[in-house]
């Protein structure tokens, strides 16, 4: 049987040389005993070569004993022989693999953290925040948050920072920050007035510099002068130079009750998805868009789930390999259907409206009172017209030099 046999390299084969009268007859005898042979070539009148599988060697030797042919093993080819050679050099191979593993491991650790653009005390706070979030020398980069998440955590923890940039450069994390500047009002601007930024009734007034033009409990309109920076007497005959010296940069805090209206609609039946707290995590090595599983399998599956995937490249020294470490977090979720009473829908609507207003005004403003102007229920929804009273700073600086 002189056909090409499949899977020859994986199974391993030997090229044999048959010496004798009409040597091709020996291969014919092999095929009769169901031995696969292929690539048979006649070298001369008494010599032939061909290939047989490893598993057929003993059987072939037994057939030869029944003949006068001589056999020689010319060449050994295939995975079993290659593995045998590797096995002889096992210590060297193991050492090479271990070396590659440790070099790759060390190339994917954090070895240096650089912080620039901030004062030493702010730098110390940044390094403390990074350490609390698992960013310190010797830490594997696979377990560290993305630069954007780190940036958000640093800004949340350090209010003195206006901006911070986080960059991953090989085994180094570089951070550059910009602090909020605290420049005194007198240095940053010239003579000025304080005017009302909004209509309202003044409830608190603290004037450090300037001439008050309004007082507590006064109703003021947007644009009214609350504190004047011109201290000169308009009836006096002071010269222009003296009048100029009497103009100052005012400093004051003025809080007033202001009013806002809001309309919000709340359904009496709400459908939303919540996380139960159960989570499965699976880890992969990604190679050419093929995910090879590493850990976290044979876990229970969830009926409803929310999946988050983090993928981080693997480096070898400074080179980025076409391999990445993938972490897949599978959170169990469930669909909740909530039926609300009209009273409950009203409470939810007021809370939502207050939250939206607070986000618009900022955390310094204080919502002191709310009132329902109108309430209606139709088509399975409750519609609310709301009226809010807010205590907020209504200071607006007006530069006096603009009028000169």
Q: Are 390 and 260 in contact (CB under 8 A)?
A: yes
Q: Are 163 and 152 in contact (CB under 8 A)?
A: no
User: What pLDDT score does 169 carry?
Assistant: 82
Residue appearing with tokens 């560290």: 144
CA gap 218, 214 in Å, rounded = 7
Q: How much of the chain is helix, strand and coil, in % rounded to 5?
A: 30, 45, 25
In the sheet with 219-220, reading across from the earlier edge strand, the strands are 219-220, 200-209, 251-267, 381-393, 366-378
132 C-beta neighbours (distance < 10 Å), count = 11
Q: Are 210 and 252 in contact (CB under 8 A)?
A: yes
User: What pLDDT score does 233 carry?
Assistant: 64
User: What pLDDT score does 81 carry?
Assistant: 87
* pTM value surpassing 0.85: no
User: What pLDDT score does 238 carry?
Assistant: 52
User: What pLDDT score does 189 carry?
Assistant: 65
Q: In the structure encoding, which two tokens stand for residue 94, read together? A: 């193991």
User: What pLDDT score does 335 carry?
Assistant: 87
Mean pLDDT of successive 10-residue segments in the chain (404 residues)?
64 92 90 90 91 92 90 91 84 86 85 90 91 88 83 89 87 88 54 92 92 93 92 58 69 94 92 87 84 82 87 79 85 89 92 93 90 91 95 91 52
């Amino acid at each position: 049987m002189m056909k090409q046999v499949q899977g020859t390299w994986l199974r391993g084969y030997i090229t044999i040389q048959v010496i004798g009268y009409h040597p091709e007859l020996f291969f014919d005898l092999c095929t009769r005993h169901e031995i696969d042979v292929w690539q048979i070539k006649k070298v001369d009148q008494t010599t032939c070569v061909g290939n047989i599988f490893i598993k057929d060697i003993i059987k072939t030797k037994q057939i030869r004993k029944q003949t006068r042919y001589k056999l020689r093993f010319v060449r050994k080819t295939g995975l079993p022989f290659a593995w045998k050679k590797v096995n002889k050099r096992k210590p060297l191979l193991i050492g090479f693999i271990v070396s590659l593993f440790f070099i790759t491991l060390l190339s994917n650790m954090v070895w240096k953290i650089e912080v620039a653009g901030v004062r030493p005390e702010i730098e110390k706070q940044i390094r403390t925040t990074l350490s609390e979030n698992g960013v310190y020398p010797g830490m594997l980069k696979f377990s560290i948050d993305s630069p954007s998440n780190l940036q958000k955590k640093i800004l949340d923890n350090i209010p003195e920072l206006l901006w911070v940039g986080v960059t991953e450069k090989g085994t180094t994390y570089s951070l550059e920050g910009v602090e909020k500047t605290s420049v005194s009002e007198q240095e940053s601007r010239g003579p000025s007035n304080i005017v009302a930024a909004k209509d309202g009734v003044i409830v608190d007034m603290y004037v450090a510099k300037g001439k008050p033009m309004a007082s507590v409990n006064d109703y003021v309109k947007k644009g009214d002068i609350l504190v004047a920076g011109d201290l000169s007497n308009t009836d006096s005959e002071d010269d222009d130079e003296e009048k100029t010296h009497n103009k100052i940069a005012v400093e004051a805090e003025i809080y007033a009750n202001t009013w806002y209206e809001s309309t919000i609609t709340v359904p009496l039946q709400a459908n939303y998805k919540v996380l139960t707290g159960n989570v499965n995590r699976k880890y992969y090595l990604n190679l050419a868009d093929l995910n090879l599983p590493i850990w976290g399998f044979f876990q229970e599956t969830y009926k409803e789930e929310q999946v988050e995937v983090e993928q981080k490249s693997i480096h070898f020294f400074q080179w980025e390999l076409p391999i990445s470490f993938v972490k897949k977090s599978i959170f169990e979720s469930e669909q909740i259907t909530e039926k609300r009473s009209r009273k409950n829908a009203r409470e939810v609507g007021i809370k939502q409206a207050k939250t939206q207003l607070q986000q618009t005004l900022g955390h310094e403003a204080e919502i002191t009172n709310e009132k329902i102007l109108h309430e209606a229920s139709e088509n399975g929804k409750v519609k609310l017209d709301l009226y809010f009273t807010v205590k907020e700073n209504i200071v607006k600086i007006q530069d006096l030099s603009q009028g000169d």
